């Protein structure tokens, strides 16, 4: 994966746009965007690659590809397939007596008074769920032996029903996986070639719903993703690429795509998972910060994630299609909270006279009123246009002309009942839309015991710059970093990611009577799994590896675990156990504001993370300048700011700004893929690596 290559290519295929970021040997990033072509994704990539090739002075895409050693690929294909129910026809095999694990989920509902929402369907229909006669208990003892003949009869029926994939999750397979393993063999005998996933192999965690959910999602994706990843590999190599293709994963890392095809669930939400990787990289490089909140504002959603002390926050509770009503992936992955807030969110006035934003969205059709496609209701984009934040002639890099008059009329429909001017109403729309974002940020940081006031905010996405300054103000964040590559933050993250693989196993140990032998054996077996992968990666030319170990633990009788990093990979004596206990108390106090000194700690899962470190193309650091310099704007525009009214505001082109320059708000910076609104009293500095660092008053 090393060698004399000129380029490294990262691609993030989203719902609307395909983002491309190409790094050259100096670490310079070149961005290209293409429209996503869902019938054959490579066509959209080619579009974007053509743009990049031109910027880099390469004659064509094959020449560009032939000089690259790495091609990192992130895609929403799996996420879309799950949400839209377009995966392979999948059956679910489970322990007799528990056919409704996927129906019942874990309970929970958002509104106790709402009887208008239907109960959500299970991921696998009940008619494709089959009860296998067997049972293991919590101690791993076989209570009911596996009825092999009965199992075979189920599989024969599945063959008749043309099942394409099978997920197997038996109760307590995490302590005794033999029945699942036997079923795996039976599937290979009875249904050769049919994809299957065993829960004890994929995700050996306690709680039958989330383990089963992960298992059926993974199985259902195998036919689709194995075909898809093969197709991409063919398309890319046919176009001239000769290097290694890596795929982005939900843990914010990358993996060889052959490995990913075996665990396609790991590609779910892999794009959003890479945004904090980029954010952390920039935060470290520009200001040495290790605590980072990352926001990525797209057209329809706002994603937030968190980095604490240099570690990206993970969760096992990622839902696809909404908390409690969708499907949980159950795997440890980057914790990305997503809310449906974007430029298309509609503003309305409720019967009590209160201004509300969303949840209805104008989407792309008819879109905001200013698109001139028949939308009449005011949206966040209309408000931004009215206020002068957006340039009507330079939207989407000039691809679209915006209709100011239509936007003013739409916003006017709510200004009147609010007894406000159109400007005031537009400002109110942006503030209240920002409020939902403020809350999303607060919720994720609060859960981790992090104070946003002591944390750097990194903002990405096309709409990142519109209201990030006021969001930071509401949170009390002192600084916001907006990278030049904000418009393609996830693809950029792929450029800074490493190969990351996680392995976990469940072994109960209590710190008062610590099972040294069993725990050390568990950690040893994690090492063994990592050895296998590491030697394979070494065969592909990777040289630098890192191993980290974690335990998920709790106080006795608690039910939710906390993840504690381990200082060592074995326990040699009481001092090592004491270190674990102390670490647990510390984390518990940070997260819950209380701890119980003297209490023992129950350890449940042991987790090992293997990182295969990819060489970076290191950027040249320009010499720092002693005094900040100003610069001249290229134009002025009338812009409305709260508390200040209309102001003739200077506009700056991003391409004219260099490290060391300083701009005072009010001002607007126009970048090809994003617009940054500097509110009055805020100050933007072009940081040493050419990104924007904004200080909030």
Q: Characterize the bridge pairing of strands 562-565 and 17-24.
A: unpaired
# of chain residues touching other proteins (CB under 8 A): 73
Is residue 594 at the binding interface for other proteins, with CB under 8 A as the rule?
yes
Residue number, 89 or 377, with CB nearest to other proteins: 89
Tell which one of 149, 350, 620, 626 touches other proteins (CB under 8 A). Answer: 350
Tell which one of 51, 83, 103, 285 touches other proteins (CB under 8 A). Answer: 103
* Cα–Cα distance for residue pair 384/391, rounded to 1 Å: 10
Residue number, 559 or 632, with CB nearest to other proteins: 559
Within a 10 A sphere around the Cβ of 124, how many other Cβ atoms? Answer: 28
Residue number, 8 or 105, with CB nearest to other proteins: 105
Which residue reads 């019967």 in tokens? Answer: 351
Q: Characterize the bridge pairing of strands 254-256 and 244-248.
A: antiparallel
Token code pair at residue 51: 């743009």
How would you class 680 by CB atoms within 10 Å of its CB: exposed for 0-12, middle for 13-18, buried for 19 or more? middle
Q: Per CB under 8 A, which region of 9-17, 79-87, 200-208, 262-270 contacts other proteins?
A: 200-208
Residue number, 282 or 606, with CB nearest to other proteins: 606
Which residue reads 């660092």 in tokens? Answer: 693
Q: State the nearest-atom distance from the C-beta of 588 to other proteins, in Å.
A: 8
* Cα–Cα distance for residue pair 339/382, rounded to 1 Å: 20
Is residue 455 at the binding interface for other proteins, with CB under 8 A as the rule?
no
Of the CA atoms within 13 Å of residue 187, those in its CB half-sphere come to: 23
Q: Is the peptide bond before 359 cis (omega within 30 degrees of 0)?
A: yes
Is residue 126 at the binding interface for other proteins, with CB under 8 A as the rule?
yes
Q: Per CB under 8 A, which region of 13-21, 134-142, 465-473, 484-492 contacts other proteins?
A: 134-142
Virtual torsion, Cα 351, 355, 357, 358, nearest 10 deg: 0
By CB under 8 A, the residues from 545 to 574 that bind other proteins are 555, 557-560
By CB under 8 A, the residues from 203 to 242 that bind other proteins are 206-209
Q: State the nearest-atom distance from the C-beta of 447 to other proteins, in Å.
A: 6
Cβ proximity of 74 and 80 under 8 Å: no
Cβ proximity of 487 and 19 under 8 Å: yes
Using CA atoms, how far residue 151 sits from 130, 147, 223, 272, in Å, is 9, 6, 23, 40
**Residue 551 — φ and ψ, nearest 5°?**
-130, 145
List, edge to edge, every strand of the sheet that includes 667-670.
635-641, 645-653, 667-670, 675-678
Is residue 152 at the binding interface for other proteins, with CB under 8 A as the rule?
no
Is residue 116 at the binding interface for other proteins, with CB under 8 A as the rule?
yes
Q: State the nearest-atom distance from the C-beta of 694 to other proteins, in Å.
A: 21
Q: Is the peptide bond before 523 cis (omega within 30 degrees of 0)?
A: no
Is residue 143 at the binding interface for other proteins, with CB under 8 A as the rule?
yes
Of the CA atoms within 13 Å of residue 294, those in its CB half-sphere come to: 37
Q: Per CB under 8 A, which region of 27-35, 156-164, 394-402, 538-546 contacts other proteins?
A: 156-164
By CB under 8 A, the residues from 83 to 102 that bind other proteins are 96-100
Is residue 161 at the binding interface for other proteins, with CB under 8 A as the rule?
yes
Tell which one of 51, 285, 404, 418 touches other proteins (CB under 8 A). Answer: 418
Closest CA to 194 of 219, 229, 225: 219
Is residue 172 at the binding interface for other proteins, with CB under 8 A as the rule?
yes
Q: State the nearest-atom distance from the C-beta of 244 to other proteins, in Å.
A: 40
Is residue 435 at the binding interface for other proteins, with CB under 8 A as the rule?
yes
Tell which one of 4, 26, 57, 119 touches other proteins (CB under 8 A). Answer: 119
Q: Per CB under 8 A, which region of 131-139, 386-394, 457-465, 544-552 contacts other proteins?
A: 131-139
Tell which one of 4, 26, 57, 112 touches other proteins (CB under 8 A). Answer: 112
Cβ proximity of 651 and 637 under 8 Å: yes
Q: State the nearest-atom distance from the C-beta of 246 to other proteins, in Å.
A: 35
Is residue 664 at the binding interface for other proteins, with CB under 8 A as the rule?
no
Q: Per CB under 8 A, which region of 66-74, 231-239, 436-444, 614-622 contacts other proteins?
A: 436-444
Cβ proximity of 340 and 361 under 8 Å: yes
By CB under 8 A, the residues from 459 to 478 that bind other proteins are 474
């Amino acid at each position: 994966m090393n060698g004399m290559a000129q380029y490294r290519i990262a691609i993030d295929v989203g719902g609307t746009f395909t983002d491309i970021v190409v790094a050259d040997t100096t670490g310079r990033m070149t961005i290209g965007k293409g429209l996503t072509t869902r019938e054959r994704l490579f066509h959209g990539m080619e579009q974007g690659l053509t743009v990049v090739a031109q910027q880099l002075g390469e004659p064509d895409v094959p020449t560009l590809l032939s000089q690259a050693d790495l091609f990192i690929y992130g895609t929403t294909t799996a996420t879309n397939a799950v949400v839209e129910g377009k995966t392979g026809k999948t059956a679910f095999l489970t322990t007799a007596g528990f056919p409704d694990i996927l129906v019942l989920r874990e309970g929970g509902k958002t509104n106790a008074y709402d009887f208008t929402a239907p109960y959500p369907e299970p991921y696998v229909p009940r008619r494709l769920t089959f009860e296998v006669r067997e049972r293991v208990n919590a101690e791993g003892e076989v209570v009911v032996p596996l009825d092999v003949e009965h199992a075979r009869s189920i599989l024969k029926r599945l063959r008749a029903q043309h099942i394409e994939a099978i997920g197997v999750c038996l109760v307590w397979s995490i302590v005794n996986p033999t029945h699942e393993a036997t079923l795996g063999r039976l599937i290979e005998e009875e249904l050769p070639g049919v994809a299957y996933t065993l829960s004890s192999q994929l995700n050996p965690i306690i709680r039958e719903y989330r383990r089963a959910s992960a298992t059926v999602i993974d199985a259902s994706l195998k036919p689709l993703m194995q075909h898809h990843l093969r197709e991409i590999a063919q398309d890319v190599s046919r176009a001239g690429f000769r290097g290694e293709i890596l795929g982005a994963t939900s843990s914010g890392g990358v993996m060889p795509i052959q490995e990913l095809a075996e665990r396609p669930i790991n590609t779910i939400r892999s794009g959003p998972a890479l945004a904090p990787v980029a954010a952390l990289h920039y935060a470290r490089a520009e200001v040495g910060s290790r605590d980072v909140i990352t926001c990525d504002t797209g057209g329809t959603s706002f994603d937030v994630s968190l980095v604490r002390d240099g570690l990206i926050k993970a969760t096992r509770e990622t839902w696809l299609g909404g908390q409690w009503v969708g499907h949980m992936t159950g795997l440890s992955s980057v914790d990305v909270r997503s809310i449906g807030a974007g430029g298309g969110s509609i503003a309305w006035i409720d019967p009590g006279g209160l201004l509300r934003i969303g949840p209805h969205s104008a989407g792309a059709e008819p879109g905001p009123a200013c698109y001139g496609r028949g939308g009449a209701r005011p949206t966040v984009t209309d408000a931004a246009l009215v206020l002068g934040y957006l340039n009507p002639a330079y939207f989407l890099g000039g691809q679209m002309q915006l209709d100011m008059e239509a936007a003013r009329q739409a916003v006017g429909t709510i200004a009147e009942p609010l007894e406000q001017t159109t400007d005031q109403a537009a400002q109110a729309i942006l503030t209240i839309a920002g409020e939902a974002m403020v809350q999303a940020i607060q919720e994720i940081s609060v859960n981790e015991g992090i104070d946003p006031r002591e944390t750097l905010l990194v903002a990405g996405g096309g709409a990142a710059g519109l209201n990030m300054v006021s969001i930071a103000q509401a949170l009390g964040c002192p600084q916001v970093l907006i990278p030049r590559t904000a418009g393609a933050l996830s693809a950029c993250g792929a450029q800074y990611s490493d190969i990351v693989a996680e392995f976990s196993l469940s072994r109960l140990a209590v710190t008062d009577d610590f099972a040294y032998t069993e725990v050390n054996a568990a950690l040893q077996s994690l090492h063994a799994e990592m050895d296998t992968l590491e030697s394979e990666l070494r065969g592909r030319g990777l040289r630098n590896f890192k191993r980290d170990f974690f335990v998920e633990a709790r106080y006795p009788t608690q039910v939710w675990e906390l993840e504690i990093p381990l200082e060592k990979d074995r326990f040699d004596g009481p001092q090592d156990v004491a270190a674990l206990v102390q670490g647990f108390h510390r984390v518990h106090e940070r997260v819950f504001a209380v701890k119980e000194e003297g209490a023992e700690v129950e350890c449940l899962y042991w987790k090992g993370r293997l990182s295969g470190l990819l060489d970076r193309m290191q950027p040249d650091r320009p010499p720092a300048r002693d005094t900040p310099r100003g610069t001249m704007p290229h134009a002025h525009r009338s812009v409305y700011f709260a508390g200040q009214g209309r102001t003739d505001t200077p506009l700056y082109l991003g391409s004219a700004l260099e490290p060391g320059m300083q701009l005072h708000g009010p001002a607007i910076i126009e970048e090809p893929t994003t617009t940054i609104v500097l509110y009055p009293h805020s100050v933007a500095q072009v940081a040493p690596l050419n990104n924007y660092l904004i200080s909030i008053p």
